[in-house]
Structure 1
Amino acid sequence: MSTATSIEDTVAALRDGERAWARTDLAGRRALLEQLHANVGAHATEWVEIAARIKGLPADSPLLGEEWSSGPYPLLTTLAALAETARALEAGRSPVDGYPIRTAPGGRIAVEVFPHGAYEWLLLNGFRAEVWLRPGIGVDTARQRAGLGLRTPERTNGIGVVLGAGNIFSIAPLDVIYQLIAENRVVALKLNPVTDPLLPVLEQIFAPAIERGFVRILTGGAEVGAALVRHPDVATVHMTGSAATHDAIVWGTDAAALARKAAGIPLLDKPITSELGGVSPTIVLPGRWSAADLRYQAEHLATQRLHNNGYNCVAAQVAVISADWPQKERFLRELRAAIARSPERADYYPGSADRVRSARSTYTQAQPIGARTLVEGLVPTRGEPALHTEYFSPVLGVLELPGATSEFLTEAVAVCNDEFEGTLGVNIIAHPRTLRELDAEFDSAVERLRYGTVAVNAWTGVGYLTARATWGAFPGHTLDDIQSGIGVVHNALLLGDTERSVVRGPFRPAPRSVLHGEFTFSPKPPWFVTNRTQATTLRRLTDFMATPRLRALPGIFVSALRG
């Protein structure tokens, strides 16, 4: 079958499917979500086995935990959370009923979306997440608008195309679900060629939606994506990838592309939303840390960069630290050691080796640590390549700014806002004592950071894994200055008028946390690249999310403690 015939058949099936989707009420949509949830559970092992082959991970590698936690796990939790949202609307309630809502800085309200329920409180104790709405949105408005496309299921919005990502294998199916449920569209998913081997698993998972014409999944090269995007019957496009790919779709690649962009006349004649990554910073606030704190947080920072070998849109690329921190040199020694301890892996993502070579040739001070690269001595200027080039590989930079805690924080926020490319996520690492001393000043700093996810003593990747949190760039980007994209996904409470998500975690793991007055019993997180039992822990956690039951909890806790 030719590409053109395949696309025409796809679009024709989706046109029919849209009519069936408009007739599918809340109960029917909830039932579909529950069917998909069951299918993910049934095919999770096969999914991870294929993912391991794509990424060159041995069957006994602890790093298989990354494929459980970034593959079937977030799809399971999102499907369950969306089904609960549909159930609330069926009962005539707002999806946010029962969720704590507080006042946030700057005339905002914040909805506490994690933990929700006893299981989440137990399994990720000490972690919290809030969704901040835009200034001026009140509680009543938030309650009335929550639900998005589920509030009017009969009013469908045409055919949407999703151009899938090739790095994290839950991104594409999660984007399909968001288009289907939140945006009320039927969906054609074009897989990234890296993920083509997952086609049989995804077709089995989405079988109930495929059979009814709600979803179609296609493979192929750029010509297939281009034909789908330009098809006259396609209403909208959502993509995950690079800003360069986005601009090629919107403005074209011919000689007139730059002129179109300058004139604001896009080649694409339909709306496009996007999640495009960027250069994510981690701000390390100075404080008085113990030796154990220095080692643990160095592993935390190494994880933020080296999870999935750096092929994450929100992988931390630059650590921002105080030049005047008395413990700076000790922390950097621990960071180098943590990178060296982290297991190496195949550079499966296209172009990775070239990007590493580019970083090493750009910076004469680059320090190779095995296949990874650490670049110290960055400066906060617009001409600094590491602040504007998303290396998407195991390259981590270090930027030093002057000042003690308060002055450093003020300068770090300004530099992250004004000098870094992208607004997807920013991390902050700070001792609890430092947070207490800063108090309202720290809350003000969080408010000023223009990022879609702000993580405090946690990695922004936790925000990606939190179904009811939002995921996407800070609002306000335009087609001609796209940065990290336009729009959000995930957002399983289907909140309107969202601005950002704020994630918080414990500074220390248990049992040290309890000994120092942090009342959390979470051990070293299983997503740490240095966690020895992450594959077992995250496999068990995913299995639990497929079929929650009390008797499975001890096995998860024992494995987590051994990590």
Structure 2
Amino acid sequence: MSAVDAALEDLSEGEGNWGRLTLAERRALLERMHALTATHAQEWVTAAASIKGLAPDSSLLGEEWLSGPYSFLGGLGTVAHSLAALETGNSPLADAEFGNAPGGRTTVSVLPLNTFERLLLSGFSAQVWLKPGINGATAQRTAGLAQLDPTRTAGIGVVLGAGNISSIAPLDALYELIAFNRVVALKLNPIMDPLLPVFEKILAPLVEIGALRLLSGGADVGTYLVNHDRVDHVHMTGSSITHDAIVFGSGPDGVARKAANDPILTKEISSELGGVSPTIVLPGEWSRADILFQAEHIATQRLHNSGYNCIASQVVVLSSEWKQRDEFIAALRAALDRAPARAPYYPGSDKRVSDATAYYPTAERLGDGGGRVLITDLNPGEYAPLLQTEYFAPVMGVIELPYSGAAFAAKAAQTANEEFVGTLGINIIGTPRTLKELGEKFDTMLADLRYGTIAVNAWTGIGFLTAAATWGAYPGHTIDDVQSGIGIVHNALLIDGAERTVVRGPFRPLPRSLFKGEMSISPKPPWFVTNKTAASTGKLLTAFAGAPSWGKLPAIFVSALRG
């Protein structure tokens, strides 16, 4: 483990270098990385495509553009903006739009933040809800986190990167450096090793001053690293099983230590883990076009990155009294069946699919080769494994509740809180008319849901893509009952006291949105797995994020409309 020892020795010295940098110098580093990311974006996407077995002409490359360099560019740019505000003695939230939410909560608008976002994400919005009792003035005063005192560093943090979404590892390292003033040993998941040469290039400014070291290797390297005496904090993205193995150890002894809450890890750990993400469909009067579009929407929530997402929707919650229930399930089945074929690149995927079909013998195998699973027509007594097992594979189920209207909304929220494992994200789909009829009861539903990101007529993945939004589990978990993790990341406005993020989107795409009175000109989003121009749109959006300009907008709009 000499490479690990050497890296940590370098970081011990680099901590001093990092602590001596002014806010302006830190911002300059981020701006250099921003330029390097734009320069090497194609190389990034090519490496990610090789990992996931995507052909050079696949429309699914749009996923790699948006969840790779585009996401990192957004994070770098928004954090640099926050540092610029702090440089001049202002709060990153000085110009923020504040609002109110049930339970004495204050909200902070984090999307859109500028005119470009209003145009490119027309009809989409996001608000960070602060914990009850924190008002706007307090939020403005405390925004900045560790950058309020940049000379006060906090040692070495280990970041264990994820093996699914390629921007997670660099974004998490960025948050450790900025939010906590910790220099970082970033260990990539072995699946992501082909991206190491790209990350070495774009993260070079941090490596040069000793604030970051990149490491690779298997579980033995990770174990040695997190338990090293020089390490002060651990952050990981992955599964709760991996978390428990790190904190309590593996095997029967680990199980016993977890039961006794007797960890072997002697330092603090934060985490972003998965769970069983529900999508609640509120019954209402839907047109045939509404049903087809939302079926594609929910299929995307499951099949984006082939289901290897910590917030991939696994269970659709329907009202058994909804008169369009059968029509919607048929449309969902068709959308899952005809989505583009892709290789099951993530280890163990085939076994998890087989486990699901073995438990549910009536499960339908869909798509080319039958690699996708849809489970319907279940009795309540059969729900448990579907609600308690994160399959992390293209497996989707449907459960039904015998309620309608406001009673269904309340019962669906209760079910999501009490019976589903994990609290990372939840989606809610409903017509504007249905949401208006529910009124305050819908606001109460949102407040009652214990999830870190709630998406209304959108996918929680938009919360991930929104740099200024918070990302992580609902607060309150502990190491012995970690659920979807502890702490948050992203949060590029450096908000203190955040509780959750609520994302909203248009129920209908252009042009039906305008015909029905929705204030949105967004066509089918480029993250839909059925979007034919997702790759070209994602590439154009990434180039725009690298160097925004009005002249780049027409090409983006044309590509998006063709999708």
Report if TM-score (shorter chain) is over 0.5.
Answer: yes
Matched AA of 1:374: L
Q: Counterpart in 2 of 1:259?
A: 256
Query: Which amino acid is the alignment partner of residue 34 of structure 2?
Result: H
Aligned to 1:359: 356
Indicate the SS of the match to 2:186: strand
Structure 2 match to 1:504: 504
Equivalent residue, structure 2, for 1:269: 266
Distance 1:254 1:334 in 2: 44
* Residue 162 in structure 1 maps to residue 159 in structure 2: yes
Q: How does 1:413-492 map to 2 (within 5 A)?
A: 413-492=413-492
Q: For the residues of structure 1 that align with 2:380 and 2:493, how far apart are their CA atoms?
A: 38
Counterpart selection for 1:81 from 67, 78, 84 = 78
Using the alignment, how far apart are the partners of 2:86 and 2:14 within structure 1?
23
1:316 equivalent to 2:313? Answer yes
> Using a 3 Å threshold, how does the CA distance of structure 1 residues 378 and 243 change in structure 2: closer, same or farther?
farther
C-alpha deviation, 1:377, in angstroms: 2.8
Tell me the secondary structure at the aligned position of residue 47 of structure 2. Answer: helix
Partner-residue secondary structure (3-state), 2:443: helix
Q: Distance in 2 between matches of 1:496 and 1:99?
A: 14
Q: Per-residue displacement from partner, 1:307-328 (whole Å, max 9, x unpaired)?
A: 0000000000000000000000
- The corresponding residue for 1:44 is 41
C-alpha distance in 1 between matches for 2:382 and 2:161: 31
Once the two structures are superposed, the pairs formed by residues 333-372 of structure 1 within 5 Å of their partners are 333-370=330-367, 371-372=371-372
Post-superposition offset of 1:380: 4.9
Partner of 1:516: 516
* Offset of residue 383 of structure 1: 6.6
Note if contact 1:85-1:147 (Cα within 8 Å) is conserved in structure 2.
yes
CA distance in 2, matches of 1:131, 1:243: 25
Per-residue deviation, 1:381: 5.8
Aligned-partner Cα distance in 1 for 2:145–2:360 = 47
Partners of 1:311 and 1:415 in 2: CA distance: 24
The CA deviation at 1:422 is: 0.1
Equivalent residues of 1:130, 1:502 under 8 A apart = yes
What secondary structure, in the 3-state scheme, does the structure 1 residue paired with 2:377 have? strand
Q: Deviations over 1:480-514 (max 9, x none)?
A: 00000000000001001110000000000011000
Contact kept, 8 Å, 2:383 with 2:399, in 1: the verdict is no
* C-alpha separation in 1, matches of 2:36 and 2:235: 24
Q: Report the AA paired with residue 480 of structure 1.
A: D
Give the equivalent residue in structure 1 for 2:539.
539
1:481 corresponds to which letter in structure 2?
A: D
Distance in 2 of aligned mates of 1:316 and 1:127 = 20
**Residue 234 (structure 2) pairs with residue 233 (structure 1):** no
Q: Which amino acid aligns with 1:128?
A: S
2:473 and 2:49 map into 1 onto residues whose CA distance is 29
Match of 1:126 in 2: 123
Residue 64 of structure 2 is matched in structure 1 by: 67
What amino acid maps onto 1:516 in structure 2? K
After TM superposition, give the deviation of residue 552 of structure 1 in Å. Answer: 0.6
One-letter code aligned to 2:515: L
> Is the Cα–Cα contact under 8 Å of residues 161 and 186 in structure 2 kept in the other structure?
yes
Q: Summarize deviations over 1:10-69 as a string: whole Å, max 9, x none.
A: 000000000001101110111111011111001000000111111000000000000000
For 1:482 and 1:466, the matched residues in 2 are separated by 25
Cα distance between partner residues in 1 of 2:238 and 2:457:
27
For residue 256 of structure 1, give the secondary structure of its aligned residue in structure 2. Answer: helix
* Aligned pairs, number: 560
* Structure 1 residue runs without a partner (length 5+): none
Looking at structure 1, the residues matched to 261 and 559 of structure 2 have their Cα atoms a distance apart, in angstroms, of 55
Question: Paired residue for 1:33?
Answer: 30
**Deviation readout 1:162-191 (Å, 9 max, x if unpaired):** 000000000001000000111110000110
Instruction: Measure, in 1, the Cα distance between the counterparts of 2:249 and 2:46.
Output: 38
Aligned to 2:140: 143
Distance 1:420 1:515, change over 3 A: same
Map Cα deviations across residues 173-212 of structure 1 (whole Å, 9 max, x no partner).
Answer: 1000000111110000110000001000000000111011
Cα distance in 1, alignment partners of residues 383 and 111 from structure 2: 39
- Contact 2:111 / 2:124 at 8 angstroms: preserved in 1? yes
- Superposition RMSD in Å: 0.9
How far did residue 153 of structure 1 move?
0.5
The equivalent residue for 2:201 is 204
User: Counterparts of 1:260 and 1:379 in 2: how far apart (Å)?
Assistant: 36
Write the distance in 2 (CA, Å) between the matches of 1:429 and 1:259.
42
Q: Give CA deviations for 1:436-478 in whole Å, capped at 9, x if unaligned.
A: 1001100000000000000000000000000000000000000
In the alignment, which residue of structure 2 is the partner of 1:555? 555
Structure 1 residue 149, shift from structure 2 partner: 1.1
What's the secondary structure of 1:443's corresponding residue? Answer: helix
SS of residue paired to 1:321: strand
| Residue 194 (1) aligns with residue 191 (2) | yes
CA distance in 2, matches of 1:497, 1:382: 39
8 Å CA contact 1:380, 1:415 repeated in 2: no
Task: Look up the SS of the partner of 1:407 in the other structure.
Answer: helix
Kindly provide the amino acid, as one letter, of the partner of residue 453 in structure 1.
T
AA partner of residue 222 (structure 2): G
Which runs of 5 or more structure 2 residues have no equivalent in the other structure?
none
Residues 6 and 362 (structure 1), Cα distance of their counterparts in 2 relative to 1, 3 Å cut: same
Secondary structure of the residue aligned to 2:507 is coil
**SS in structure 2 at match of 1:182:** helix
In the superposition, the TM-score normalised over structure 2's length comes to 0.99
Structure 1 letter corresponding to 2:159: V
TM-score (norm. length: structure 1): 0.99
For 1:161 and 1:377, how far apart are their aligned partners in 2? 45
Distance 1:428 1:22, change over 3 A: same
Deviation at 1:407, TM superposition (A): 1.0
Secondary structure at the aligned position of 1:400 is classed as strand
Contact 1:277 1:313 in 2 (8 A): yes
- Say whether the 8 Å CA contact 2:31–2:76 is kept in structure 1: yes
Q: What code does the residue aligned with 1:332 have? A: I
